[in-house]
Amino acid sequence: MNIMNNGRLGFDELDELVRPAPEVVEFEEVANKMVSRRGFLGGGAAVGAGAFVMGSTTLAAGKALAAGATESRLAFSMVKANSLDTVTVPEGYKWEVVASWGDPLFSNAPAFDATTGGTGASQELAFGDHNDGMAFFSKDGKQIMAINNEYTNEKTLHANRGDGMPATADDVRKNKAAHGVSIIEVAQRGGKWGIVLDSPYNRRITADTAMDITGPARGHKWMQTSEDPKGLVAKGTWNNCGNGQTPWGTYLTCEENFNGYFTANDKDYKMPEAFKRYGMSTEGRYNWAMADDRFNLVKEPNEPNRFGYIVEIDPLDPTSRPKKRTALGRFKHENAELTIAANGHVVVYLGDDERGEFLYRFISKHKYLAGGNNRDLLEEGTLYVAKFHDNNRGEWLALTPKTTGMTDAEISIHTRMAASKVGATTMDRPEWVAAHPHKAEVYCSLTNNKNRGVKPNAGGDATPAGGPNPRVKNNFGQIVRWMPMDSDHTHNEFKWDLFVLAGNPAVYDDANAGSKNVNQDNMFNSPDGLKFDSKGLLWIQTDGNYSNEKGFQGQGNNQMLVADPETGEIRRFLVGPKESEITGSAWNAERTTMFIGVQHPGEEGHSHWPDGGQSVPRSSVIAISREDGAVIG
């Protein structure tokens, strides 16, 4: 098997290639617990030993809105699903490209070269590839964006190579430089948004940028390498997926599928069990080890332990060094949703985006002080993992030496194993988490899980259907919602329900049709990005099946929708170009412009977005505004 020849496969698919899980023998028993659509529409149906209950607002939405009993807060005409190679927005809105892969950040950088994909030197001075999570910052009238660059399109980045894979040391340098984070100043000039060349805030944070290791794992023997024998400074960040933002003005970037970058070039190499749990392979996806020994597991066996963390960055201080916050655990981080609890503690909700993995919460040891020095609040605290019960109750289980039999450092490095030890609930790929801005209510997109009820997770934990993961072989995904007891984000108990169950009512009449607030006009699959606006409306982005065939007929390209949590109403706001994912969102200070990411257009070779014609497809950040200049969200 050659992973590098499977570059267009998703990271989950690559994990399954290198680590196939055994079949579960009790499939028929689990399948019998499947919930029918009739049960959903009736307000609840038996699931295992408990009962599955949709949220009351969701169940009431369709009937109330149809009867005109509730005035919709979604004041735009819904966009129709389509498979066009462009961005479609509602009437009265417009969009424009702000930054695309390869755009120079400095005047001394060469223009984008579509023929070769550029060089290592040019990429270090340019906007990275496959932009994902993002956040907006302001200082002294300047507008600065921090934007993740998750991974790369090898066929375009290495267009000078026949197979699109790195073949020289400079190819590896370019590939590493296309990963990480792009920090850019943006401005409107002549009515158009764009990068401010040579801004002192412009910088690239890449797979080679030095970063302080903080928290329980700092200095631990598992973090020590030949280049960093004390285990204090890691080099680089990559596969940066979702993000977070702190009230003290820093950016949180999240390392997700870090495992696919390492290689073991010795046939006698034996993969440690801990590495297997995190999806390590003897073959790297990008062949970085050919030019950098730290990606060779034989030479640097501890290097992978230094990745899979939340990295805190100060985008307003170009001289600052990023910090890896190991207290928030090591796993495939999707995003980091930070809120301040009523008692002053910082609470961060975190999803581990792999089939059958877990949902986490971090509570800071110290309290947030408005106007005070809060810079190290993410260095110390307690990590928890979620346990959902079928009776719509749940609890947060503390991951401590007492509950796990592991040290604090071991918990922070081998977080998945700690969560398995306490019996946490295996989830359908927990992705973005979003906390309601006006009340203690939190949402998490469970994007899909074809292995639900069929295979255990990578640690051997069972994945039965039930609770917030009700469907066997879940191809459509759902959004779970929970409410902390006493409206206290630090409380260890919560109530939960499902806000929406995605599906296709045009094809199915069972649970795969989705919940009542899904219909043939607004249907979608694989909810991924989640973000609340200032009005308490929930923006939902998808990263799923865009084939528009079979069970996905009529759903078209990936999209962005808006939901009203009070009524359950959902409308499609945007459709992306062919073969793209819609991800990341941010607003300018005036909230007159919404920025979102369009990632990997044409990942299967059928898009020429954004420039059209026969041009090379390029991941890009776009700006959306109303033609009348009014506020969005």
Contact 206/124 with Cβ under 8 angstroms?
A: yes
What pLDDT is recorded for position 552? Answer: 98
pLDDT-flagged residues of the chain (< 70): 1-9, 13-14, 16-70
User: What are the phi and psi torsion angles at 466 (to 5°)?
Assistant: 150, 170
Quick one: DSSP state of residue 533? Answer: -
CA 83 distance to own-chain centroid = 24
Q: Of how many residues is the chain composed? A: 633
Rounded to whole angstroms, how far apart are CA atoms 7 and 20? Answer: 18
> Smallest Cα–Cα separation from 262: which of 243, 281, 277, 245?
281
Contact 572/81 with Cβ under 8 angstroms?
A: yes
Contact 324/213 with Cβ under 8 angstroms?
A: yes
What pLDDT is recorded for position 265? Answer: 87
State the CB neighbour count (10 A cutoff) for residue 611: 14
Environment class of 190 (CB within 10 Å of its CB; exposed 0-12, middle 13-18, buried 19+): exposed
What pLDDT is recorded for position 51? Answer: 29
Beta-strand relationship, 323-325 and 210-214? parallel
CA 425 distance to own-chain centroid = 20
pLDDT tens profile 36-78: 433 333 333 323 222 234 554 444 444 444 444 468 999 999 9
State both tokens at 326: 């190991």
Rounded to whole angstroms, how far apart are CA atoms 478 and 518? Answer: 11
Rounded to whole angstroms, how far apart are CA atoms 295 and 318? Answer: 27
Q: Which long-range contacts (CB under 8 A, 24 or more apart) does 209-212 make?
A: 209/180, 209/235, 209/236, 209/237, 209/322, 210/234, 210/235, 210/321, 211/235, 211/236, 211/237, 211/311, 211/321, 211/322, 211/323, 211/324, 212/321, 212/322, 212/323, 212/324
Rounded to whole angstroms, how far apart are CA atoms 429 and 257? Answer: 13
SS3 295: helix
Task: Scan for tokens 């230094």, then name that residue.
Answer: 306
State both tokens at 34: 């499947």
What pLDDT is recorded for position 71? Answer: 85
Task: Scan for tokens 């609470």, then name that residue.
Answer: 347
Contact 633/591 with Cβ under 8 angstroms?
A: yes
Rounded to whole angstroms, how far apart are CA atoms 95 and 79? Answer: 14
Beta-strand relationship, 251-255 and 310-313? antiparallel
pLDDT tens profile 419-433: 999 999 999 999 999
Environment class of 366 (CB within 10 Å of its CB; exposed 0-12, middle 13-18, buried 19+): middle
pLDDT tens profile 145-203: 999 999 999 999 999 898 889 999 999 999 999 999 999 999 999 999 999 999 999 99
State the CB neighbour count (10 A cutoff) for residue 417: 17
Tell me the C-alpha to C-alpha distance, in Å, between residue 133 and each of 42, 147, 316, 583, 620.
37, 6, 18, 7, 12
